Amino acid sequence: MSADLVRPYGDTTGDGMVQTSFTLPLPHDKRAEGAALQLAAKMGMSPALLVHAKPMGPDFTFFVVYGSVTHLVDLREVHVVEREYPLLSSADVNQAIRSHLQRKLVVVGACIGTDAHTVGIDAILNIKGFAGEKGLEYYREMTVVNLGAQVLVPDLVEAAREVQADAVLVSQVVTQRDAHIHNTTTMSAAFREAFPTGQVPLLVAGGPRFEEGSAATLGVDRVFGRGTTPGEVASYLVHELVTSRTRPDPRGAQR
């Protein structure tokens, strides 16, 4: 096999083994198990083994299937979004803000809509941070306003206006019925309506299930996904708002 073509690995290299789980709207019986195996075959698993089936109430069954996929991955067709800014230490971030902006960089964060999953935004903002990195509250040259969970978009816009936010950081974890997409597009539209063109704060959305490269569709400046660290976000903010600033300062100050 060419080095550009790979298959999943289970017991022996290239055996193609994968395991996946799903729920079918069927009561647990032999027919439901057959249906699960049919789905596995249609997903390219051949042969597939049913390794787990559990009734989820009277009308649904949860399945785990394990088997060898017939598909190959062609690495030449894998496209990734490379980080477009350098990673800075917290000292460099503070230094850049101090010398270029000559005031604190103001960040407002919130979990919007009905979403109450605050662990992600707290990981980025709270001083205790995430993955061994301190959160943005640790940065001496940043003022962080964390509005917490279930913040309504009009309240977020109002808070951003009140503190003259440079950046607004929004977290969306729940993806049921594409809530994360609807909430984020509603939020970005509200900011565009509330602020004059060119004075909208930098809009950043984050959460484990945002697609890389979906920022433009969502109307935000950038999207951060699973495993993001506070240092990445701080470096991005400095890149966009301080060192290569292309947008006017919301306070009208000159650099």
Q: Which residues are catalytic?
A: 128
139 binds ligand B12 (CB under 6 A): no
Report, in angstroms and rounded to the nearest whole number, the Rg of the chain calculated over CA atoms.
23
Q: DSSP states of 186-224 as a string?
A: HHHHHHHHHS-TT-SPEEEEE-TTPPTT-HHHHTSSEEE
Of 38, 89, 114, 217, which lies in the binding site for ligand B12, with binding defined by CB under 6 A?
A: 114
CA of residue 4 relative to chain centroid, distance: 28
Whole-number minimum distance, CB 59 to ligand B12, in Å? Answer: 18
21 binds ligand B12 (CB under 6 A): no
173 binds ligand B12 (CB under 6 A): yes
Whole-number minimum distance, CB 129 to ligand B12, in Å? Answer: 9
Of 16, 67, 120, 201, which lies in the binding site for ligand B12, with binding defined by CB under 6 A?
A: 120
Whole-number minimum distance, CB 179 to ligand B12, in Å? Answer: 7
Q: Which is nearer to ligand B12, 16 or 109 (CB)?
A: 109
Of 104, 117, 134, 161, which lies in the binding site for ligand B12, with binding defined by CB under 6 A?
A: 117
Q: Which residue has the tokens 């470096």?
A: 235
Of 116, 127, 152, 189, which lies in the binding site for ligand B12, with binding defined by CB under 6 A?
A: 116
Give residues with Cβ within 8 angstroms of 32, minimum separation 6.
Answer: 24, 26, 53, 61
Whole-number minimum distance, CB 156 to ligand B12, in Å? Answer: 12
Q: Which is nearer to ligand B12, 97 or 167 (CB)?
A: 167
Q: Which is nearer to ligand B12, 68 or 184 (CB)?
A: 184
Q: Which residues bind ligand B12 (CB under 6 A)?
A: 114-121, 123-124, 130, 169-171, 173-176, 204, 206-208, 224-228, 233
